[in-house]
Amino acid sequence: MRTILPLLCLALLVFSVTTVSASDDAGQSVYAKSCAACHDSGVMGAPKVGDKDAWVPLIAEGVDVLTENATKGVGKMPPKGGNMQLSDDEVKAAVGYMVEKSQ
């Protein structure tokens, strides 16, 4: 029993780190394919990723609001950034990636 508990803890740690990395990779991949065209250059007023001043008020709204806006569309941005093939989880991952890079 003494060896099982440390092994279980190690397995949970490895799994959680792998899950976070996979999520980060998914967000970056979706961003590159579906979001970067506007959010890299600021086309039509899209906040540029990494522009902390532009993102402060957006991040203050919360990730759930940002994800809902990205999913349904807001301002000049169409729903899911125009890529209706994206799942809601992929949109959420991309939003998370943009927030992380813009804090």
Domain boundary assignment for the chain: 4-101
Second-level CATH architecture of 4-101: Orthogonal Bundle (1.10)
In degrees and rounded to multiples of 5, residue 88 shows phi and psi of -60, -35
Q: How many CB atoms lie within 10 A of CB 50?
A: 13
Q: Which two tokens stand for residue 48?
A: 């540029």
pLDDT at 103: 96
pTM of the full predicted structure? 0.77
pLDDT at 23: 57
Contact assessment for residue 30 and residue 86, using Cβ atoms and an 8 Å cutoff:
yes
Average pLDDT over residues 68-95: 97
Q: What is the sign, positive or negative, of the torsion defined by CA atoms of 37, 42, 46, 47?
A: positive
- Angle between helix axes 52-61 and 88-101 (nearest 10 degrees) is 130
pLDDT at 12: 40
